[in-house]
Amino acid sequence: VLFRSGLDGATLDLRRAFFDDAGKVIECIDLFHGICEVTQGGGFILKISAKSVVQKLNIEYPNRRYYPQCPYSIYSKECGVDIKAYRKKAKVTAVTGTNTVQIDIPFEDGYYTAGGMEWISGPLAGQATQIMDSKNSTIIYMSAT
């Protein structure tokens, strides 16, 4: 586990302890707080590098096996996600409340939350808005009014 980066991301706290005559801890002072990274491991040897949490501000990405945030605009050519694979054409089957409609296509709860919708017919044709919540074939959308 250690050799396979099992300690990467672990925290290391270094403190100086002060004791009374009986050996009981009176107080501790924090000297260092850092993040561990296994630099070498195998057999009975393990080398760990501990960097101050402030050093995370200087990290260039990509780092290791993950990318914390995609630098591209969603659905752009660089992003590689095809919006056509996620767009659905639905019909409003009922207006159940203010900014709340039921639609004729099934979806998992939350699937469209924080997404967007565009009205293609009716009095709101051409308007686009953000979806605030989506569950049970119901969409709650944001409105300027």
Q: Are 62 and 93 members of one domain?
A: no
Would the pLDDT of 24 be above 70? yes
Residues 6+ apart with CB under 8 A from 26: 18, 19, 20
Q: What residue numbers bound the domain in which 97 lies? A: 83-141
Q: Are 8 and 36 members of one domain?
A: yes
Q: Are 61 and 11 members of one domain?
A: yes
- Determine, yes or no, domain membership for 15: yes
- Determine, yes or no, domain membership for 76: no
Angstrom CA distances, 36 to 3, 16, 59, 60, stand at 13, 19, 14, 17
d(CA 83, CA 118): 14
Q: Are 102 and 136 members of one domain?
A: yes
Q: Is the pTM of this model over 0.85?
A: no
The tally of domains found in the chain comes to 2
Would the pLDDT of 2 be above 70? no
Band of residue 59 on the pLDDT scale cut at 50, 70, 90: low
Question: How large a percentage of the chain has pLDDT more than 90?
Answer: 29
C-alpha torsion sign, points 50, 56, 60, 65:
positive
